[in-house]
A and B are shown apart, each in its own frame.
Chain A
Amino acid sequence: MEADDEIYANGGDDSSRKPIISGEQLDIEAYAGLYTGRTKIVRLLFIADHTDNTTMQLEALRMAYDEIKKGENTQLFREVVQKIDGRLGPKYSMDSRWCDTVDRRAEQRKERLENELNAYKTNLIKESIRMGFNDFGDFYYAHGLLGDAFKSYVKTRDYCTTSKHIIYMCMSAILVSIEMGQFTHVTSYVGKAEQTPEALEPVSVSKLRCAAGLAHLESKKYKLAARKFLEVGPELGNSYNEVIASQDVATYGGLCALASLDRSELKAKVIDNVNFRNFLELVPEVRELIHDFYSSRYASCLDYLENLKANLLLDIHLHDHVEVLYDQIRCKALIQYTHPFLSVDLRMMANAFKTTVAGLEKELEALITDNQIQARIDSHNKILYARHADQRNATFQRVLQTGSEFERDVRAMLLRANLIKHEYNLRSRKH
């Protein structure tokens, strides 16, 4: 009986644990505070586009409006005004005067930059030309012309003289590519940056890992993404806020790791990883759910996940992958739950996973068919029995099968050879 209780406690409620706090709405102000630059605006707009909550939407739009006003991107400004649609009062309406001034100033600046660049080019001073292109990149980036910005940054490549320059170029290209959602570019420029002969600064290394992690996440290679995020060093701090916050590293890395790494790897690379622990401290929910998962408190782990879900769906990079990652985590939890047992009572397991026995049976059936769990369900007594593959029998079976296949193939081959030979004989007789 005691053993039963223990199993039950695996997933059951544990009154000594503190209640889960993060079910509440996303605090947009705090969230936006984590980021700087363009990504802040884009993330706010993303939230505004994807939330059903009107107050939240307006709050996000208001902050985006304020943020844009600080910069020079008139195109984005017009978009936001259109989205606000007068709902935030006259203070947040179309400001054509501002737009015109900014645009005019941009025209002038562009002209000046062009003149400067031409001058540099005639003088053939490499460093100056590089700076010229770089200025152009910055200019385009600030005005939201990402494609042109990317081209300008890439052009500086021919004029790079030190590996520091190359890294600068790569970083700029990566930043713009992430904004554009061109993650293949991200991967290739991360590769270029890492190939520079001189040793990179720790901050750059961390930044590159973040970028690579994002690229892998975007291409659904969760395991690789997890590895990259887990390798990010503590130096990152707030230095990469124009792309990713430390909290994101914890969330992305934690979820990808849960979904893709096996138990020992999880222990070694996540839980015992001092660097990553610092990141996890920033997002206690993720830390808790990883620990819950590792110590097999699945119900609480799934609770945490469920609570986080709404906010994760508002994340610009993660929202597409939330469902897939959650499914994989759940599957892994199911597999891990059944792994040590010879037999499992389905009623207890259903309890641990907060689901019905019938639903659990279906989930297990899918996993068994997929050969992810080696077990069979006793549907009558609602018990899952582990099944140990009989190597000897399987080998015999395979040997016999391979033998007959080989024999058949040889015979068929001989026949075909004979037919070809016949054709050949026929033809040589004709000639």
Chain B
Amino acid sequence: MNTVESLVTQIQGLSGNSSDLSALHNYLKQAEESLRSELSRLLPFLHQLDPSVHSLGYLYILEACTSSPVWGDQRDMIVSTTARFITFCAAEQIRMAPDLFINVCKRFKEQVMLLEAPIRGVAPLLAATRKVQLNSEHLTPLHPDFLQLCLLAKCYKAGISILEDDIFEVDQPRDFFLYCYYGGTICIGQKRFQKALELLHNVVTAPMSTINAIAVEAYKKYVLVSLIQYGQFSTSLPKYTSSAAQRNLKNFCQPYIELAMSYSSGKISELESFVQTNREKFESDKNLGLVKQVVSSMYKRNIQRLTQTYLTLSLQDIANTVQLSSSKEAEMHVLQMIQDGQIHATINQKDGMVRFLEDPEQYKTCEMIERIDSSIQRILSSVELSLKIINYHKEKPFRCYIWAKYN
């Protein structure tokens, strides 16, 4: 009984500077066993500690508390306590025991999911991810959990904030796969198709010895997003793709490949009937919404093609060429596309004509110059990054390994 109390006193006394903290850390490690034996009494002691000051000690006790299953009201309390702790804890202290912290966070996520309130976990997990992360290039095990919560809670914007960092350091391939897949899905939700494609592409082309479900699902979405973004899809994967992926992906995603083929014919009726017959498959994959976007993107693609050939065209002619039922509908499509900046045009409602204009961008504005400048800067940093790759290859045993494996 004394042990917990004395432990709390120790924590309160030794949370000041780094040497104290490492002493405390040793002490806590030894006490871990005894903590587990007193699970039921631990929770009240947390109130005697301040999460922002006594983070390390708090973490140990909390970890012990959450290691056993919880029910009912207790669950709600644990969730709010943990949320508070994650938000206020000191990063340098919890980084002394990152595994414990990640355990706590993962359990926290499970609890939030069981409570069916994923939104409660979004902000704490974002904070947690930032605290565990050593630098912005580091992929933590918390990344996929956080993104999953964002998806469930539909907080896409929060998810985007973390996706904007470029990740290079990966501990666990599985984390990376999930990170890219969830990230891609979030970007799709935000209609940031370019970024989504990049993330999904990473999954599909990642080195893997056997095919995995994440890659298959990612490939399905990759096909659809390619169609929306570029209006075409090439089934040939780049040559650096693992042979497992090259061999198997297409077999697992047959309806999607066929959809892409049907899309390339440019006939809207064909595409629609194909979607109709394969509706169930798409629905069970939870991709039906995206498939519908593919279909409507075809109208856009066809209208865009018209802008290349025509200067003026009546709405009725547009409706006929892209197989819309009425000129009214054609007008809505054109209007929407003008709004989204996908075409440059004006509609003359008096005689029902659309006048297509050239891209007004003259590449002369300050913003454009800034954009070009930032692009140049990014490319320069990319060049530095590519030097990193070359440096890897200079490590001899590593080079031999790659040579043996990939040649």
A residues apposed to B, CB below 8 Å: 364-365, 368-369, 376-381, 385, 390, 392-393, 396, 399-400, 403-404, 406-408, 410-424, 427-428
Q: List 9 tightest A-B contacts by C-beta distance, closest first.
A: A380-B312, A396-B363, A410-B382, A378-B311, A368-B309, A376-B311, A403-B375, A379-B313, A407-B382
- 8 of the cross-chain contacts (CB-CB < 8 Å) are A379-B312, A380-B313, A396-B368, A407-B382, A408-B198, A413-B386, A415-B170, A424-B402
**B388 adjacent to A385 (CB under 8 Å):** no
- CB-CB < 8 A to A406: which residues of B? 379, 382
**B305 adjacent to A419 (CB under 8 Å):** no
- CB-CB < 8 A to A385: which residues of B? 311
**A379 adjacent to B317 (CB under 8 Å):** yes
Known contacts: A411-B385, A414-B388. The answer to whether A419 contacts B168 by CB under 8 A is no
Q: Smallest CB–CB gap between A123 and chain B, Å?
A: 61
**A418 adjacent to B170 (CB under 8 Å):** yes
**B309 adjacent to A365 (CB under 8 Å):** yes
- CB-CB < 8 A to B206: which residues of A? 415-416, 419
Q: Smallest CB–CB gap between A362 and chain B, Å?
A: 10
Q: Smallest CB–CB gap between B107 and chain A, Å?
A: 26
CA distance A385 to B312 in the complex (A): 11
Kindly state whether residue B240 has any CB partner on chain A within 8 Å. Answer: yes
- CB-CB < 8 A to A403: which residues of B? 375-376, 378-379
Q: For B384, give the chain A residue with the smallest CB separation.
A: A410
CA distance A406 to B379 in the complex (A): 7
List 10 extra interface pairs beyond A393-B362, A412-B201, A421-B398, CB under 8 A: A368-B309, A378-B310, A378-B311, A378-B312, A385-B311, A399-B372, A406-B382, A415-B176, A419-B207, A420-B405
Question: Per-residue 0/1 for B298-332: is the Cβ within 8 Å of any A Cβ (1 yes, 0 no)?
Answer: 00000001001111111001000000000000000
Q: Chain B interface mostly helix, strand, loop or mixed?
A: helix
**A416 adjacent to B382 (CB under 8 Å):** no
Q: For A384, give the chain B residue with the smallest CB separation.
A: B311
- CB-CB < 8 A to A412: which residues of B? 198, 201-202, 205
Known contacts: A392-B363, A407-B382, A415-B202. The answer to whether A422 contacts B170 by CB under 8 A is yes
B residues apposed to A, CB below 8 Å: 166-171, 173, 176, 198, 201-202, 205-207, 240, 305, 308-314, 317, 351, 353, 356, 358-359, 361-363, 368, 371-372, 375-376, 378-379, 382-383, 385-386, 388-389, 392, 397-398, 401-402, 405
Q: For B389, give the chain A residue with the smallest CB separation.
A: A417
CA distance A376 to B306 in the complex (A): 9
Q: For B406, give the chain A residue with the smallest CB separation.
A: A420
- CB-CB < 8 A to B171: which residues of A? 422
Known contacts: A412-B198, A414-B389. The answer to whether A379 contacts B170 by CB under 8 A is no
**B314 adjacent to A379 (CB under 8 Å):** yes
Known contacts: A376-B311, A412-B202, A416-B240. The answer to whether A407 contacts B305 by CB under 8 A is no
**B167 adjacent to A428 (CB under 8 Å):** no
CA distance A420 to B176 in the complex (A): 13
Count chain A CB atoms within 10 A of each CB in B171, B309, B376, B388 and give the residue with the most: B309
- CB-CB < 8 A to B358: which residues of A? 390
CA distance A348 to B395 in the complex (A): 72
- CB-CB < 8 A to A423: which residues of B? 173, 207
Q: Which of A376, A381, A411, A424 lies in contact with B401, CB distance below 8 A?
A: A424
CA distance A428 to B405 in the complex (A): 14
Q: Smallest CB–CB gap between A343 and chain B, Å?
A: 10
- CB-CB < 8 A to A416: which residues of B? 205-207, 240
Known contacts: A410-B386, A413-B386, A423-B207. The answer to whether A381 contacts B170 by CB under 8 A is no
- CB-CB < 8 A to A400: which residues of B? 371-372, 375
Q: For A373, give the chain B residue with the smallest CB separation.
A: B309
Known contacts: A376-B309, A380-B312, A380-B314. The answer to whether A420 contacts B198 by CB under 8 A is no
Q: For B313, give the chain A residue with the smallest CB separation.
A: A379
CA distance A407 to B382 in the complex (A): 6
- CB-CB < 8 A to A392: which residues of B? 363
